Amino acid sequence: MAGLKVRLDGGRQLRAGLAEIEGGINDLKAAHREAADIAANASAALAPSVSGNLRRTIRAAGTKTAGVIRAGTKRVPYAGPIHWGWQRRNITGAFFLSDGARNSEGRWIRVYEDHLEKLVNKL
C-alpha cells in the first residue's frame, strides 16, 4: 500500500509568490501543520495499542513544502514494522498512518482550501 500524497500543480510558483508577501511562507507552513495535525489525530485513533506508547509518539509537523506525520522514537522503535509489517517476523502491516490520513482527507483538504484561498487573496 503506497502512502497518500496530494499534488499541487504550480506549488513552486505559489511558494515563490508567497515569499514576496510578508508572512506568506509561514502561513503555508501553518496550513501544512494544521492539516497534518488532523491526519495525525485520525492516525492515532487507528494505531494498535497494547500499552499506548505507540499512539503517544504520533506527531505532526509542517514545512514550507509539506505536512508530515511521524510515529516512533528511540524508545518506541517498532512504529515502522507495526505500520508497514515485517514479513520475516510474521507481522502484518496495520497501515494506521496511511489509513488515518486517507480517512480524514475530507477534513484536511478543507484546511488547504481555506488557507490557499486566503493566501491567493493576499497575492
pLDDT tens for residues 59-105?
Answer: 999 988 899 999 999 999 999 999 999 999 999 999 999 999 999 99
Which letter does DSSP use for residue 52 in this model? S
Q: What span, in angstroms and rounded, lies between the C-alpha atoms of 29 and 36?
A: 10
Q: Is residue 88 part of a domain?
A: yes
Quote the number of domains for the chain.
1
Q: How much is the CA Rg of the chain, to the nearest whole Å?
A: 16
**Is the pLDDT assigned to residue 123 strictly greater than 70?**
no
Q: Is residue 96 part of a domain?
A: yes
For residue 94, the number of C-alpha atoms closer than 13 Å in the C-beta half-sphere is 19
Residue 79: domain span = 21-103
Q: Is residue 6 part of a domain?
A: no
Q: Is residue 8 part of a domain?
A: no
Q: Count Cβ atoms below 10 Å from residue 112 Cβ, excluding itself.
A: 17
pTM above 0.75, yes or no: yes
Q: Is residue 76 part of a domain?
A: yes
Higher confidence at residue 80 or residue 16?
Answer: 80
